[in-house]
Chain A
Amino acid sequence: MDIRIPNLGEGAESGSVVSLFVKEGDKVAKDQTILELENEKAVAPIPSTHSGTVKKVYVKVGDKVSVGQAILSLEESGGSLTSQNIPQEILSQPAQVQRPVKSIPGIPPPASPSVRKVAGELGVDLMQVRGSEAGGRIVMADIRAYIASLKSASASERIDSEHSRSIDFSKWGPVKKTALSSLRQKIGQKMTESWTTIPHVTQFDEANITELMTLRKKVGAAYEKKGARLTLTHFVMKAVVAALKKYPQFNSSLDEGSQELVTKEYFHIGIAVDTDSGLIVPVVRDADKKSLLDLAKELDALAEKTRQRKVSLDELKGGTFTISNLGGIGGTFFTPIVNKPEVAILGVGRGVLKPVIIKNKTKEKVEVRLMLPLGLSYDHRVIDGADGARFICAIVETLENFDPKLVKL
Chain B
Amino acid sequence: MTPIQTDIVVLGAGPGGYAAAFYAADLGKKVILVEQEKRLGGVCLNRGCIPSKALLHASKMVHEAEISAQRGIEFGSPKIHLDKLRAWKESILEKLGQGIATLASKRGVEVMLGRGYFEDSQTLRVETTEGQKFVKFSKAIIAVGSKPALPKAFDLGNKRIMTSTEALELEEIPKSLLIVGGGYIGMELGTVYAALGSEVVLVEAMGSILAGADPDLARPVMRYAEKNFKEVRLNAKVSKMATSGKNIKVNMEFGDKCVEEHYDRVLVSVGRTPNCYDLGLKNTKVERDDKGFIKVNSKQQTADPNIYAIGDVAGGLLLAHKASKEARIAVQVIVGEHAEFKDILIPAVVFTDPEVAWCGLTEADAKSKNIPVKVVRFAWAASGRALSTDKTDGLTKLIIDPDTERILGVGLVGSGAGELISEGVLAIEMGATALDLASAVHPHPTLSETLMEAAEVFYGHSTHTLSAKK
Contact residues in B for A109 (Cβ distance below 8 Å): 431
| Interface pair B403/A102, CB less than 8 Å apart | yes
Whether a CB of chain A sits under 8 angstroms from the CB of B405 is yes
Min distance, Cβ B468 to any Cβ of chain A, angstroms: 14
| Interface pair A135/B405, CB less than 8 Å apart | yes
| Interface pair A102/B429, CB less than 8 Å apart | no
Whether a CB of chain A sits under 8 angstroms from the CB of B156 is no
Whether a CB of chain A sits under 8 angstroms from the CB of B464 is no
Whether a CB of chain B sits under 8 angstroms from the CB of A151 is no
Whether a CB of chain A sits under 8 angstroms from the CB of B340 is yes
In this complex, how many residues of chain B approach chain A with their Cβ under 8 Å: the count is 21
Whether a CB of chain B sits under 8 angstroms from the CB of A341 is no
CA distance A202 to B406 in the complex (A): 54
Q: A110-B404, A110-B406, A120-B338 are in contact. Are A134 and B435 (CB under 8 A)?
A: yes
| Interface pair B371/A106, CB less than 8 Å apart | yes
| Interface pair A117/B433, CB less than 8 Å apart | no
The residues in B between 326 and 345 inclusive whose CB is less than 8 angstroms from any CB of A are 338-340, 342-343
Q: A104-B401, A105-B369, A106-B369 are in contact. Are A113 and B340 (CB under 8 A)?
A: no
Q: A120-B338, A120-B340, A136-B404 are in contact. Are A107 and B371 (CB under 8 A)?
A: yes
The residues in A between 306 and 355 inclusive whose CB is less than 8 angstroms from any CB of B are none
| Interface pair A108/B369, CB less than 8 Å apart | no
Whether a CB of chain B sits under 8 angstroms from the CB of A121 is yes
Give the nearest-CB partner of A136 in chain B: B404
CB-CB contacts of A105-134 with B at 8 A, as 1s and 0s?
111111111001100110000000001011
Whether a CB of chain A sits under 8 angstroms from the CB of B94 is no
| Interface pair A102/B431, CB less than 8 Å apart | no
Of the candidates A101, A106, A116, A121, which one forms a contact with B404 in the assembled complex, judged by CB atoms under 8 Å apart? A101
Whether a CB of chain A sits under 8 angstroms from the CB of B287 is no
Whether a CB of chain B sits under 8 angstroms from the CB of A137 is yes
Contact residues in A for B401 (Cβ distance below 8 Å): 102, 104, 107, 135
CA distance A104 to B404 in the complex (A): 11
Q: A101-B404, A106-B371 are in contact. Are A117 and B338 (CB under 8 A)?
A: yes
| Interface pair B404/A135, CB less than 8 Å apart | yes
Whether a CB of chain B sits under 8 angstroms from the CB of A3 is no
The residues in B between 411 and 470 inclusive whose CB is less than 8 angstroms from any CB of A are 429-433, 435-436
CA distance A401 to B342 in the complex (A): 75
Min distance, Cβ B322 to any Cβ of chain A, angstroms: 15
Whether a CB of chain B sits under 8 angstroms from the CB of A295 is no
CA distance A107 to B430 in the complex (A): 13
Contact residues in A for B144 (Cβ distance below 8 Å): none
CA distance A107 to B362 in the complex (A): 12
Whether a CB of chain A sits under 8 angstroms from the CB of B8 is no
| Interface pair A108/B343, CB less than 8 Å apart | yes
Whether a CB of chain A sits under 8 angstroms from the CB of B217 is no
Min distance, Cβ B346 to any Cβ of chain A, angstroms: 13
Chain B residues with a Cβ under 8 A of chain A: 338-340, 342-343, 361, 369, 371, 401, 403-406, 408, 429-433, 435-436
Q: When A and B form their complex, which 4 residue pairs have the shortest distance between CB atoms, in order from nearest?
A: A110-B431, A108-B343, A135-B406, A135-B404
21 contacts between A and B (CB under 8 A): A101-B404, A104-B371, A104-B401, A104-B408, A107-B371, A107-B408, A108-B342, A108-B343, A110-B406, A120-B338, A131-B431, A134-B404, A134-B405, A134-B433, A134-B436, A135-B405, A135-B431, A135-B433, A136-B404, A136-B406, A137-B406
Task: List 16 extra interface pairs beyond A101-B404, A104-B371, CB under 8 A.
Answer: A104-B408, A105-B371, A107-B401, A108-B342, A108-B343, A110-B404, A110-B431, A120-B342, A133-B431, A134-B404, A135-B431, A135-B432, A135-B433, A136-B404, A136-B406, A137-B430
